[in-house]
Amino acid sequence: MIERLEALIAPVVEDLGCELWGVEKLAQGKYSVLKIFIDSDDGIDVEDCAKVSRQVSSLLDVEDLFHGKYTLEVSSPGLDRRLFKLEQFEVFKGTKVRLMLRKPYEGRRKFVGLLCGIEEEDVVLRSDKDEEILFPFREIERANIISEG
């Protein structure tokens, strides 16, 4: 469903001069929360979020993708931005990141290290022990930049 939402929302966001950074759908009981993260070279302000929210809300009402009530949240990715797509890992090469895996690797699901980039469909992370570990992108449940400062 996320891919379908992204395909539907991306043209609207781009028409408003922003980039669709990522989409996250959370179920909270019988309600859903749809989080949309937008970015631009000039930064994102409250007005950008409001414009995108109005347009996307109207689009979602017409498409009727959600059964029941939902809350729409639009924001910038922030300093501790989440990485949603494989290409985003390459852009933030050289940055410290926190990864959570879907399944444990060597008994752990959480890893922190320096993002070394990507190799085909794998994300390369240098651990604090100075070893490089390749994680298949499909096995990464969540990844966030760790802001220094």
C-alpha torsion angle, residues 38, 43, 49, 50 (rounded to 10): -150
- pTM for the whole structure: 0.87
What residues have CB less than 8 Å from 65, skipping those under 6 apart?
1, 4, 5, 8
So what's the pLDDT on residue 21? 97
Q: Summarize pLDDT for 90-122 with one digit per residue, the tens.
A: 999 999 999 999 999 989 999 999 999 999 999
d(CA 111, CA 98): 6
Kindly list the distances between the CA atom of residue 118 and the CA atoms of 6, 45, 95, 124, 142, in Å, as whole numbers in the listed order: 23, 31, 13, 6, 16
Q: Summarize pLDDT for 18-39 with one digit per residue, the tens.
A: 999 999 998 877 788 999 999 9
Residues 55 and 98 grouped into a single domain: no
So what's the pLDDT on residue 149? 60
Residues 91 and 70 grouped into a single domain: no
CATH classification of the domain holding 67? 3.30.300.70
So what's the pLDDT on residue 32? 86
Evaluate whether residue 80 is within a structural domain. no
So what's the pLDDT on residue 87? 94
Q: Summarize pLDDT for 127-137 with one digit per residue, the tens.
A: 888 899 999 99
Q: Summarize pLDDT for 42-95 with one digit per residue, the tens.
A: 999 999 999 999 999 999 888 877 777 889 999 999 989 999 999 999 999 999
Residues 71 and 6 grouped into a single domain: yes
32 with 71: CB under 8 angstroms? yes
Residues 113 and 91 grouped into a single domain: yes
Kindly list the distances between the CA atom of residue 91 and the CA atoms of 33, 103, 108, 139, in Å, as whole numbers in the listed order: 28, 25, 26, 20
Residues 90 and 65 grouped into a single domain: no
Q: Within 10 A of 147 (CB to CB), how many other CB atoms are there?
A: 11
Full residue range of the structural domain in which residue 45 is found: 2-75
How would you classify the pairing of strands 108-119 and 122-126? antiparallel
d(CA 93, CA 115): 5
Residues 103 and 70 grouped into a single domain: no
